[in-house]
Structure formats: C-alpha cells, structure tokens
Amino acid sequence: MPTWSPCKRRDFIRKLRALGFDGPFAGKAHEFMVNAGRRQTIPNNPEYSVPQLRMLLRQIEGRLGTSISVEEWESL
C-alpha cells in the first residue's frame, strides 16, 4: 500500500492540470490555478512536505467535491 511522500512543485502543478485545473497564473504573492471559477493558491516552495501536501489536497477535494486517494494521486 503506497504512502504519502513529499511532492515537487512542478509535479504538483502537473497533477493539478491532470485534474482539470488551468494555470498557473500570476497573483500578488503566489501563483494560482483555476478550476470552474475557483482559485487554488500554489505555494512558492520548491518542494511540499507531506503535511503541506495533505492540506492542499483537502482544499482541492473541497473544490472538486471528491476525495483523492494516495493511489489516485500517485497515478496522475
């Protein structure tokens, strides 16, 4: 069974595009991506820790209305 692992920023953006997000677009302090008119802020860190990745994925799950499993995230 796979476990959560840190994620590079570039890979995170690529996976969000696979989930249907557009962008990233320039914001004031951070870039953001858009899905169905809803913005998801993209932190500037070069790599996201597991707790930060889980927090971001909870936000994304709320915007998409579906849950994302470890297996699904790794397969994107």
Q: Where are the domains of the chain?
A: 7-75
Q: In a structure prediction context, what are the per-residue pLDDT tens digits for the chain, which is 76 residues long?
A: 678 999 999 999 999 999 999 999 998 899 999 998 899 999 999 999 999 999 999 999 998 889 999 999 999 9
* pTM (two decimals): 0.91
Selection from 55, 56, 62, 54 nearest residue 41 by Cα: 56
Q: What Cα–Cα distance (Å) separates residue 45 from each residue in 41, 48, 50, 54, 65? A: 12, 6, 13, 15, 26
Q: Domain 7-75: give its CATH architecture.
A: 2-Layer Sandwich (3.30)
Angle between helices 50-64 and 9-18 (to 10 degrees): 20
